[in-house]
Amino acid sequence: MNGPTMSSSSDGFDPMANRGFVAKLNVDEYFRMGETQRPMELIYGFVREPPAPRYGHQSVLTHLVALLDEHVRDRQLGQVCVAPVDVVLDEAAALVVQPDIVFVAATHQARVRDRVWGPPDLVVEILSPRTARRDRTTKLAWYRRYGVIECWLVDVTHRSVEVVELQAHDARRTSYSEDAPMHSTVLPNWTVAAAQIFS
């Protein structure tokens, strides 16, 4: 088999456009590739490797994962992990994604092995100009379809957080900014204000 060609598409990924130009992989073949710290996903059998995130993205990510990890550890709620970590949403369809942050509740720890096999309870996506449209549409639809309970969309530019309850009717969305304390179905005791995430 020929080695895979990486795609650097910044907004969505169209495997049909790559037919005949790249090798299609299954999940086992993808995981046999060499480890890397760069973002990389397997989208219906095709490897997608976007550019590394910008500094502002990573700064907010670092701060938020520290807040979440402390909250979860103190209450023994489960495990928090930061990207890059593979989340296998659909092994048969070869769909493997890397959210910026994942939380898997203690009751679902069997999903955490060498990777996360199945839906995390909570995923966080830090939006950037290159990925915002894809995160708000394509990836959000995947998360809802495969059973993720909640997704936080963190907008660095506007310093706001949109909490999307994916399994609610019509995926209920609530936006938080400035000093408004956030509400989470997955983490009901989380009362951090949106402004704290960006401080």
Q: What fold does the segment set 55-197 form as a domain?
A: tt1808, chain A (3.90.1570)
Pairing of strands 95-97, 41-43: antiparallel
State the pLDDT at residue 22. 65
Pairing of strands 101-105, 78-82: antiparallel
Percent of the chain with pLDDT over 70: 89
**pLDDT tens-digit map of 62-118:** 999 999 999 999 999 999 999 999 999 999 999 999 999 999 999 999 999 999 999
CB 67 within 8 A of CB 38: no
Percent of the chain with pLDDT over 90: 72
Sheet containing 95-97: order of strands: 46-48, 41-43, 95-97, 87-90, 116-117
State the pLDDT at residue 46. 92
Pairing of strands 87-90, 78-82: unpaired
State the pLDDT at residue 88. 98
CB 155 within 8 A of CB 164: no
